[in-house]
Structure 1
Amino acid sequence: MSNKHCLIMAGGSGTRFWPRSRKANPKQFLTIFGNESLIQATISRFANFIPDESIYVVSNKGQKEILEQQTSRLPKENLIYEPVGKNTLPAIGLAALFIAKNDPDGIMIVSPADHLTQNDQLFQETIESAAKIAEEKNGIVTIGITPNAPATGYGYIEIGNEIKIGQTIKSFAVNRFVEKPNLATAQSYVDSGKFFWNAGIFVFKVSVFLEAVQKYAPNLYADLQKIAETIGTANYGQVLDKIYNQVDSISIDYGIMEKADNVFLVQGDFVWNDLGSWEEVYKYDPQKDENQNAHVGEVIFQDTKNSYVYAPGSLVAVVGMDDVIVVKDGDTILVCKRDQAEEIKGVVGEITKRKLDQYL
């Protein structure tokens, strides 16, 4: 099988994790569970079966200092910086240029930096199965998570016929990608057994991916080729800034996955969550007490159930309030109902509107 390379996408801002997630220290660099930050845990997971020199990270240049601090095990030349965020397709395309220079037919595994994944052995077997399909069928492969609830916060993927080429995990042709559904539609998807959650993990040959970009996003492909010509030269930074600022912002789902006819899905049954909000952190926290409260720091819960408090270095008392989230970070405090955790991004918007940048 071809050499495998991993690309970890780490350019996000993580607004729903405010106030811990800030511009200078966004979600992927936070330690949520255990002793590693989310990006460090992601690197460790892939390093179980991919050498460090084949693990790349794409981020934005404003995160250069903290990225280098947290990824010291990786070669610095494997850290790729976007001048400005342009969604996932240009970011993956930019990184693919670096891998293609040395291994154009290598297998490229693309993963977010900030998701929770458990069952590392099953995760590895799933990725290996996806790589086998990518290799033997020249496929563009995605990992679909078996849904355990009618979640409305994820995109879904509808499967077609099962694909069998000796891989260890169930795999299917893909019929279509669908946007985040309402509750009734999500329930119908789960009941059908034909839909999986879109985990945002992709596996393909670098050459197959670049051919797809050329076919379905030709303007981006032309721009990427101009950048590729300057990699390793003194002109690279200047050319990258000029070209990258003008490329269209487009996701890999919309730009490639929804259009290509060689798309496959490998079934993911490992524990997975995109940790999209503080509510998800509460759900996965293993240290809940008898009243289903979880905390970090000195906390007094009195007549309180099903709540989460993060306040290291402080004393917080919560009295007579169920289902709440409290997060204290430096000079900011968040208090919200658990079922409103998704709305924190609106708070960040208001902070921006009021030009209170010191709190971002």
Structure 2
Amino acid sequence: MRDPARVRHRRGEAGLGAHRDLRHRARPRRPDRRARRRALRPVADRDHQRAPAPPSHLQAGRRIRPLRPQRPRPALGADRPRRRPRRGRGHRAAGARLARRGLSAAAAAPVALHVLILAGGSGTRLWPLSRAALPKHLLPLGPGGTTLLRATVERLLPLGAEVRVVTVEAQAAACLAALEGTGLDERSLVAEPAPRGTGPALGLAVREVAAADPEAVVCSVHADHHVGDDAAYCAALWEAAGWAAATDGLATVGLVPRFAATGFGYVELGEEHRPATWRPPVVSPRALHPSPGLPAYTALGFAEKPSLALAEEFVAGGRHLWNLGLFAWSAAAFGRELRAAAPDVDDALAEVVELRTGGRATEAAERYRAIPSAAVEPLVLERGARLSVVAAAFPWSDLGSWSDLLEARRAAGEGDAAGNVLGGDAVAAGARGCLVESRGGRTVALVGVEDLVVVDTGDAVLVVPAQQAQAVRDVVDLLRAGGRTELL
């Protein structure tokens, strides 16, 4: 018989098993895994629900860290509650990092984007097709025969910004006709009583934007430019707007020069100041994709239409970009810089807005006409304003001459095998590299000629070598001096 001290009592009822036929074989018992776990760590059963912890199974003197109680979790499938952002030492440290980079911590908050389209040109570069009453941005030179103004509005759609068209009162009706179907109406127009250059025009328009949204970031673009990559164009504008919001300053988009152009302005690059992980804080109803990571620099200055030798030096040095006239700034920053650089212009614009608000449109127009004409670069940007420049690369042309239009159309895939681009009723036999715009109801035929521009509008015919297309301005000056205003 076994030693009684070695007899182990079994739990449960007597016998081989309750309610089990004795003829069945006993099932082997599984080892108790929980017993093995008890020797390693305390039981954490239900501790995530903050229930009282059971007594520890650890032996005395053992030094094993107990489990941390888990936070209460929502039921499976439930939405996670939104957490309030922590604003402790980490927030202050982030603000210090932004300050060291010249950025504003307050600019991290999303802001709305507005775009001003400058559409008030006089229309002499593409004479005789463009006239004072029908400037370049109202000509059907865009994709599919649309006007350049409409093409610009459609190009900006991915930004989801609020768009205003800055024009002169004499062109307001024509601009509205070109904008039909775009969602813009007379409330989207900012009309100058008379053309006074981009400086006063933008000052007036930014005041109108600031009255509706003081925290807005504003972009300024031109209505008569050709762009070959709309996505890259919008991405560069987005980046410039982000820099304007982050630095509480002014920004511009510069284009990597393709050749030594003497008809363009240049902007000189300073130190690169783009943080590697920074993202533009600007948001809009239809936000763009993440930042493309375009480099940004401090702008050191502008050079307007340099000589050929100087332009070649700029291109070879790699520290100058073409100035496209694409700008971005917060409404508050532009107002501050305009006030510091040209207080007389700022005072005059304040009077114009006050007179308009009071219903005294005639007096407002007279006061605006008294403002000296000036471009925004010498009026504001070149007078000590803190300016960033975003370096971009996309097909672009300001369509400043007929030869520019010919090149842009060729790049867009238009033209025949000989490089001729024929518009209207025109034929070419043995001609190469010619541009024809026949809009006078007559057939224009080219035979054996090269690199010519021929434009027929019915009341005027222009024939000029493509390389000398810039000389059209001389013709316009001669007509004006001779009193032929009906052709202008």
TM range (shorter): over 0.9
Tell me, yes or no, if structure 1 residue 300 matches structure 2 residue 410. no
Matched with 2:203 is: 93
Q: Secondary structure at the match of 1:11?
A: coil
- Partner of residue 158, structure 2: 48
1:71 aligns with 2:179: yes
Out of 9, 12, 26, the residue aligned to residue 118 of structure 2 is: 9
Cα distance, 1:300 vs structure 2: 2.5
CA distance in 2, matches of 1:268, 1:314: 43
Greater alpha carbon shift after TM alignment, 209-218 vs 261-270: 261-270
Shift of 1:219: 0.2
Matched residue count: 357
Q: Which residue of 2 aligns with 1:185?
A: 310
Q: Which residue of 2 aligns with 1:215?
A: 340
Q: For 1:81-105, what per-residue CA distance to the aligned partner results, in whole angstroms no more than 9, with x for missing partners?
A: 1111111100001111110111122
Shift of 1:107: 0.5
- Show the counterpart of 1:20: 129
Q: 1: distance between equivalents of 2:184 and 2:142?
A: 22
Q: Distance in 1 between matches of 2:214 and 2:374?
A: 23
- Work out which of the residue numbers 295, 317, 321 in structure 2 matches 1:196: 321
1:322 to 450, 454, 457: 450
Alignment of 1:115 with 2:243, yes or no, is no
Residues 104 and 206 of structure 1 are in contact (CA less than 8 Å); yes or no, is this contact kept in structure 2? yes
Rg larger for: 2
Structure 2: distance between partners of 1:117 and 1:281: 12
Letter in 2 for 1:267: A
The one-letter code matched in structure 1 to 2:207 is L
2:456 corresponds to 1:332: no
Q: Verify the 8 A CA contact 1:160 1:173 in the aligned structure 2.
A: yes
* Mapping of residues 279-298 of structure 1, within 5 Å: 279-285=403-409, 286-298=413-425
**Secondary structure of 2:425 counterpart:** strand
| Alignment-mate amino acid for residue 342 of structure 1 | Q
Q: Which amino acid aligns with 1:223?
A: A
Q: Distance in 2 between matches of 1:11 and 1:261?
A: 25
CA offsets, 1:56-76, max 9 Å, x none? 111111112211111232131
Deviates more, 1:200-209 or 1:32-41: 32-41
> 3-state SS of the aligned residue for 1:203?
strand
State whether residues 270 and 300 of structure 2, in contact with CA within 8 Å, keep that contact through their aligned partners in structure 1: yes
Q: Name the structure, 1 or 2, with higher relative contact order (CA <8 Å, separation 6+).
A: 1
CA contact (8 A) 1:138 1:262 kept: no
| Equivalent residue number for residue 169 of structure 1 | 294
In 2 relative to 1, CA 265–133 (structure 1 residues): closer, same or farther, beyond 3 Å? same
- 1:259 equivalent to 2:383? Answer yes
Aligned equivalents of 2:417, 2:431: Cα separation in 1: 11
Cα-to-partner distance string for 1:256-275 (whole Å, 9 max, x where unaligned)? 11112410101121221101
> How far apart, in 2, do the equivalents of 1:122 and 1:66 lie?
29
Question: Identity across aligned pairs (percent)?
Answer: 30
Deviations, residues 77-130 of structure 1 (Å, cap 9, x unaligned): 221211111111000011111101111220010011100112222222211111
CA distance in 2, matches of 1:330, 1:106: 47
CA contact (8 A) 1:301 1:319 kept: yes
1:249 maps to 2:373: yes
AA at the equivalent of 2:468: Q
Contact 1:16 1:343 in 2 (8 A): no
Q: Is the 8 A contact 1:8 1:113 kept in 2?
A: yes
Q: Which residue of 2 aligns with 1:140?
A: 250
TM-superposed CA distance for 1:21, in Å, is 0.4
Instruction: Please name the residue that 1:350 is paired with.
Output: 478
Consecutive unaligned residues of structure 2, counting only runs of 5 or more, are: 1-109, 280-292
Bigger shift: residues 334-343 or 309-318: 309-318
Runs of 4 or more consecutive aligned structure 1 residues displaced over 4 Å after TM superposition? none
Q: Which amino acid aligns with 1:125?
A: A
SS at match of 1:15: coil
Partner-residue secondary structure (3-state), 2:312: helix
Distance apart, 1:253 and its partner CA: 0.6
CA distance in 2, matches of 1:71, 1:33: 13
> Structure 1 stretch 221-230 or stretch 156-165: which is displaced more?
221-230
Deviation at 1:314, TM superposition (A): 3.1
SS in 2 for 1:104: coil
1:61 to 149, 163, 169: 169
Q: CA deviation at 1:231?
A: 4.2
Structure 2 Cα separation of the partners of residues 156 and 144 of structure 1: 8
Task: For 1:48, give the aligned amino acid.
Answer: P
Task: Compute the displacement of 1:306 (Å).
Answer: 1.2
